Amino acid sequence: MNGDKQITVRQFRLMVILFTIGSSLLAIPSTAAASAKQGAWIPILVGMGCGCLILLLLIKVTRRYPTLTFVEINSLLLGKWVGALVSLIWILTAFIGGVCTLVYYMGHFITTQIMTTTPAYIVNIIFSALLVMGFLLGLRTVARTAEILFPVVALLIAALIGFVSPKIQLEHFQPVWEAGVRPILKSALDYVSFAGFPLVFFLTIYPSSVRTGTKASKTFVLGSLIGGMLLLLVTAACIGVLGAEPTARLFYPSYSLAKRINIADFITRIEVIVAAIWIITLFFETIVYFYASMKGLAQLLKLSDERALALPLGVLAAVLSLIVYHNSAYQQEWDERTWPFWVMTSGLFFPLLLLAVGAIRKKKIPYPSDR
């Protein structure tokens, strides 16, 4: 990988944080409250721990092949045909389960909460165009954008928590363990399916496109933990202000939380805070999925420049985002029952398979030297 295509450790960490927040900001508070009730913060802590274990697995895989991406490791270990099949499943998960669904989320959120008279396809086309534009300019440009926008996200989250904190009622957190173990574990799986397993799609960036290579492993874990802590704060604020049952019923509880802000009847209805946070973080989450599918497909097809696929995939994402879900009820059903096990295949089973095959074939495979 040429130096001009590599990003710094700091840029990588910020991208991981923004990716972790992403769609989880609006989805996790309601799903956690629905299962764990007033103890909705507990499964997030459990999920953060599970996420660290997943990262340790991914880091262990990449330490053996620090200059290769996930698709290249598949080809090396599993052979031409099996490796191509595993890579294709992985790419489809990133593109359909990641890019297309998140473009849908963006259109649904904007057209139901902010611009209610705007057709969803207009928002989807604009958002897809931004993705294409980002990667036509290159990965380093996207990473530098993360450096610029992360302070904005941090400031807005701090403002949100600060403004609503006077309205938090401690009784909304009691009793703490009412739901029991099983609902908490189910909710932890929901967290991991949004903010844990999908971290596997960073293996097109880490370690091959990070300047320090596998030495950035601590940064990988730290970014995931910081993103998880920010989600924990927002979820706790939703429970403390709105209560467990209202949080579970609302489709976008963190957005409704911001509507409760009222400072001396002067600073009110500034839910644009949450909208801005979510739009920025969702963009970076989608762009990681987009880059994983774009670069993975380019390597699978032996293309010299993955950017040649940016426009075709952007157009395809805008089209598929209109049909990927039938309606909001279908979306919730899919996210709760199908997505966790689908993304688990790419984020857990495939890395375990590579680790097992690599251990068996270690004497026959020449490992690239670490940096």
**Among residues 136, 141, 131, 137, which one has the least CA distance to residue 6?**
141
Integer angstrom CA distances of residue 126 from 266, 284, 303, 314:
34, 15, 27, 10
Q: What is the pLDDT of residues 143-172, one digit of tens each?
A: 999 999 999 999 988 888 888 888 888 888
**Domain membership of residue 124 as a residue range:** 3-346
Query: Is 361 contained in some domain?
Result: no
Place of tokens 């199908």: 338
Exposure class string for 73-102: b at 16+ Cβ within 10 A, else e: bbbbbbeeeebeebbeebbbbbbbbbbbbb
Our CA angle for 298, 87, 348, nearest 5°, is: 135
CA 310 to CA 289: how far, in whole Å? 12
Domain with residue 173: its CATH number is 1.20.1740.10
Query: Is 208 contained in some domain?
Result: yes
Under a CB-based contact definition with an 8 Å cutoff, are residues 160 and 230 in contact?
A: no
Query: Is 274 contained in some domain?
Result: yes
Summary count for the chain: helices (H), strands (E): 17, 2
Q: What is the pLDDT, as a whole number, of residue 245? A: 87
**Among residues 283, 370, 323, 270, which one has the least CA distance to residue 64?**
370
**Among residues 95, 37, 233, 101, which one has the least CA distance to residue 109?**
101
Query: Is 352 contained in some domain?
Result: no
Query: Is 370 contained in some domain?
Result: no
pLDDT, averaged per 10 consecutive residues of the chain (371 residues), comes to 69 94 84 85 91 92 86 89 93 93 90 85 92 88 92 90 85 78 87 92 89 83 93 90 85 79 68 84 94 93 88 93 85 86 93 89 49 42
**Among residues 196, 216, 197, 195, which one has the least CA distance to residue 206?**
216
Domain count, the chain: 1
Most distant CA pair in the chain: distance in Å?
71
